[in-house]
């Protein structure tokens, strides 16, 4: 069994690909912040304390139109609501006797990509492994944002567009290995892609926010997967 230092180091190693993708994507976030009148220092701390791309974009958009604090809070809550479901799922990966402080620190930096990294770990999730991933990804997200504010508008539009899709490619790299190992996972992934697209064109559902659609799809697909492909509880 690895000690805390080894777990932390392994978390850093596994988090490097995510950190590089975060750096690229947050660069475009910084450009949006600059256009909204947010300076480099403000943008750095905003990203350091709020690692949520959709939530930050939503908040920045509201700031740009001089929305009220209440409106910004509600928009950010809706955009990030899916993390409630992810928190429930990730809580099952902790040892029942894990201290609440570790659960809270992990919950502070719960992102789609780190969730995918954590949920695929064998056995219980070790907090110091997750801390290692946080230690490399959080600074890259914040530094990338700051650099985007400082020099983002100097880059050609084609490069900025290329950077904006890096995160999606990295996320695919997280889910594909698991989908290759288990056919039920592959089926759920395919259904998620198809249903996600359909929800953007079906009248009524397409009018819902992206965060709300994500929550609904997660509940429906996860429920169907649990019903048709139940997994026995394994003593960890």
| pLDDT tens track, the chain, 236 positions | 788 999 999 999 999 989 988 888 888 888 888 888 899 999 999 999 888 877 788 788 888 888 888 888 887 887 787 788 889 889 989 999 999 999 999 999 999 889 989 988 888 999 999 999 999 999 999 999 999 899 876 777 677 666 666 656 656 766 787 788 888 889 988 998 899 899 999 988 888 877 678 778 878 888 898 888 886 654 44
Euclidean distance between CA atoms 46 and 42, whole angstroms: 6
Long-range contacts of 162-168 (CB under 8 A, 24+ apart): 163/24, 163/25, 163/27, 163/28, 164/24, 164/25, 164/28, 166/20, 166/21, 166/24, 166/25, 167/21, 167/22, 167/24, 167/25, 167/53, 167/113
In this structure, are residues 140 and 46 in contact, taking their beta carbons and an 8 Å threshold? Answer: no
Identify the burial level of 42 via C-beta atoms within 10 angstroms of its C-beta, where 0-12 means exposed, 13-18 middle and 19 or more buried.
Answer: middle
């Amino acid at each position: 069994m690895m000690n805390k230092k080894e777990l932390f180091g392994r978390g850093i190693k596994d988090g490097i690909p995510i950190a590089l993708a975060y750096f690229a994507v947050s660069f475009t976030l910084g450009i949006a912040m600059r256009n909204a009148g947010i300076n480099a220092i403000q943008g750095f701390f905003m990203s350091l304390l709020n690692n949520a791309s959709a939530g930050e974009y939503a908040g920045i958009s509201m700031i740009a139109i001089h929305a009220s604090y209440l409106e910004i809070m509600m928009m950010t809550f809706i955009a990030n609501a899916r993390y409630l479901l992810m928190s429930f799922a990730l809580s099952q990966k902790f040892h029942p006797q894990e201290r609440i402080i570790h659960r809270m620190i992990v919950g502070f930096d719960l992102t789609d990509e780190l969730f995918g990294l954590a949920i695929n770990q064998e056995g219980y999730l070790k907090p110091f492994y997750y801390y290692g991933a946080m230690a490399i990804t959080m600074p890259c997200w914040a530094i990338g944002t700051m650099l985007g504010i400082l020099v983002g508008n100097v880059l050609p539009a084609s490069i900025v567009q290329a950077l904006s899709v890096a995160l999606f490619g990295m996320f695919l790299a997280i889910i594909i290995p698991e989908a290759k190992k288990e056919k039920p996972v592959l089926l759920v992934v395919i259904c998620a892609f198809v249903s996600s697209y359909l929800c953007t064109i079906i009248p009524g559902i397409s009018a819902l926010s992206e965060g709300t659609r994500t929550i609904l799809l997660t509940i429906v697909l996860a429920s169907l997967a649990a019903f048709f492909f139940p997994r026995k509880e394994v003593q960890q």
